[in-house]
Amino acid sequence: MIHISKVADERRAAGAMECWLLHGAVGMAADWRGFAKRLAMAHTGTRAVDLWRFLECQPMPLADFGPAFNADAGGEVSRGTGRALLGYSMGGRLALHALLEKDHPWQAAVIVSAHPGLEDPAERASRRSADAEWASMALTANWQDFLDAWNAQSVLGGAAIRAPQASGGLMMRRREIARSFVDWSLGCQEPLWERLHEITIPVLWVVGENDAKFRELAGRAVAKIPHATLAIAPGSGHRVPWEAEPWLAERLAVFLNSGTGDRAIASPGRFLHKNDS
């Protein structure tokens, strides 16, 4: 049974490990329901976080998210013996900020299709400009037109991850979504590349086989994290949690139950150690 807490967070109790799930841009906690059900079958509990609640009352720069989110998680009573963090795309960038804080509450992490940061100032400026346009659309445009334009991006494969009627609740968050394009823009993010070595817990970094740009980024990132493993989702693009849901749920369950993030797993799909070629 799903328990609603803190606005639209969704919790599913199952097993000793609880995995907190961070959705992507223009996403919602409910996007994880199918995935969470699969993890529950593998005796892994979940908490899908409504990230928009962090932007409800005031702006929150990326630098402030990590401390706020970790305090939020630390204030919750864990229902198991371990706690892991999974972030997808924008949620993956937010997860990295949380993991780079000292004394964070996470024992393991999974980063999916995430960008550690643009290194060229000109690229960051261009991204801020583009995201300002998305912010304006999110706030003022016809909602379905905005969603259609968002999903039409080539990196997302041109398909929605939920039925149109399931996005009604998301429309209620259009103010927070617009704010996220400003506060949490990749263009506002300081590059994290030179800090990734500070993440010392086991990390599984996941990327889609057909997501060439993010495969390159993932390879660079994994090489910098001491206990990281790269997992490539076969036949998937950027939206791995929905394009390869059974595959990711199985890999995540094995990763969390193995007690280590530096192990190759012999199964369909590819797991690569950072030193593999």
Note the residue count of the chain.
277
Q: What does the pLDDT look like over 65-89, one tens digit per residue?
A: 999 999 999 877 666 678 999 999 9
Averaged pLDDT for residues 235-261: 88
Does 209 score more than 70 pLDDT?
yes
Average pLDDT over the chain, rounded to an integer: 88
Give yes or no for a contact between 24 and 88, defined as CB atoms under 8 angstroms apart. Answer: yes
pLDDT interval class at 273 (50, 70, 90)? very low
Which domains are seen in the chain, by residue range? 3-121+191-273 (3.40.50.1820)
Strand partners, 204: 110, 229
Q: How far apart are CA 25 and CA 19, in angstroms?
A: 19
DSSP one-letter code for 235: T
Q: How far apart are CA 141 and CA 134, in angstroms?
A: 10
Q: What is the edge-to-edge ordering of all strands in the sheet holding 17-22?
A: 3-5, 9-12, 44-49, 17-22, 82-88, 108-112, 203-208, 228-233, 270-273
The answer for residues whose C-beta is within 8 angstroms of residue 27's C-beta and 6 or more apart is 51, 88, 90, 91, 161, 170
Question: Which of 6-10, 59-63, 147-151 is predicted least confidently?
Answer: 6-10
Strands (E), the chain: 3-5, 9-12, 17-22, 44-49, 82-88, 108-112, 203-208, 228-233, 270-273
Does 252 score more than 70 pLDDT?
yes
Does 260 score more than 80 pLDDT?
no
Q: Which helix (H) or strand (E) holds 124?
A: helix 121-140
pLDDT recorded at residue 7? 59
Q: How far apart are CA 231 and CA 204, in angstroms?
A: 7
Residue that wins the pLDDT comparison between 267 and 225? 225
pLDDT recorded at residue 5? 44
